[in-house]
Amino acid sequence: MSLVALRLPQGVRCAIAVTYDTDMAGGYAPDGICHGRTMPALQAHLLRLCDTAESFGVRLQFFQIGNGLDQEDVAYLREILRRGHAVDSHTYSHMALIGDPETLREELLRTNRLFQERLGRRSTVLRGPGGYQNGLRDHPANQQVILDCGFRWVSCQYDNAMPRREPRYAVEAPAREAPYEYPSGLIEFPLQGYTDRVWFDMVHCVDQAAYDAWRVAHGHQPVEPGWRAPWTHPQALERWIEYNLAVADFVYERRLAWVLCWHPYSHYLHDPENRMLPALLAHCAAKPERVQVGTLRDVVGMVIE
């Protein structure tokens, strides 16, 4: 395993890949099953995120579960692509990349076919469902399957220790969790820092019973305007914005690349007025030197071979 060096474009101080997994998350599902058949209210939220990004001249990275491409209407994804954002694979059924290698091969090939048939695109970067402490380091056969299926880049390592550490530990994740190459040649871009799911529904969950009750009764259905998640600490969104701006300051100071991982569904629930994304983009735009905010494909393009 060897670290991978990135070359930032001329005049760019640091880079941020804004990646969203578009899941209908299992953590919000009455039956606990995560799938990719995005409900219309969430499709609208995705397009709203694109509007925000475009107003800053930024393109977003989405990762889509393949079984969502089996449904009749994928116009929202075609629209996202037409507007210049990136959509890549998140497996067919939200299968963990560390699972059975041959099942993984079927999942990835099936999703590749659906990307081609329904979106007319080939996915080149793979996001691993769930995230794994050691990435794919203990799974050489899975690395090979991913390479065989046409991916040279994967993003699946996630540090589960953050909630148990001091706050600064998560802010400094982009320095500690640098991209690296597995012995197979596959290149890993770890998910750096807190995901929104962990932040809002785990670290800032103050009423687990309320969360469980909502999930069973109302999960995977639209919420009313003005609704607030009854399980989440009232300051969670303020702190989330503060935390993410602190990471942006850290990568700016250190000239790093930061791969963050968010979910439209989590922001739909916990940030219904859409404050986080514009706050981050405005913060970066106000820096004296240029911050390149964009897709994971953009950051992959900075790898020095």
What is the binding site for Zn ion (CB under 5 A)? Answer: 21, 23, 129
Q: Which is nearer to Zn ion, 159 or 172 (CB)?
A: 159
Those residues with Cβ within 8 angstroms of residue 166's Cβ, 6 or more apart along the chain or in another chain: none
Q: Which is nearer to Zn ion, 74 or 97 (CB)?
A: 97
The total number of residues written for the chain in this structure: 305
What does DSSP assign to residue 300? H
Closest contact distance (angstroms) between CB of 129 and Zn ion is 4
Tell how far CA 116 is from the center of its chain.
Answer: 22
Closest contact distance (angstroms) between CB of 21 and Zn ion is 4
Between CA 200 and CA 213 the distance in angstroms is 16
Q: Which is nearer to Zn ion, 21 or 201 (CB)?
A: 21
Pairing of strands 125-132, 290-294: unpaired
Closest contact distance (angstroms) between CB of 279 and Zn ion is 24
Closest contact distance (angstroms) between CB of 23 and Zn ion is 4
Q: How many Cα atoms sit within 13 Å of 255 on the Cβ side?
A: 10
Q: Which is nearer to Zn ion, 129 or 294 (CB)?
A: 129
Q: Which is nearer to Zn ion, 155 or 292 (CB)?
A: 155
Closest contact distance (angstroms) between CB of 12 and Zn ion is 29
Q: Rounded to 5 degrees, what are φ and ψ at 106?
A: -60, -45
Tokens of 138: 């203990």
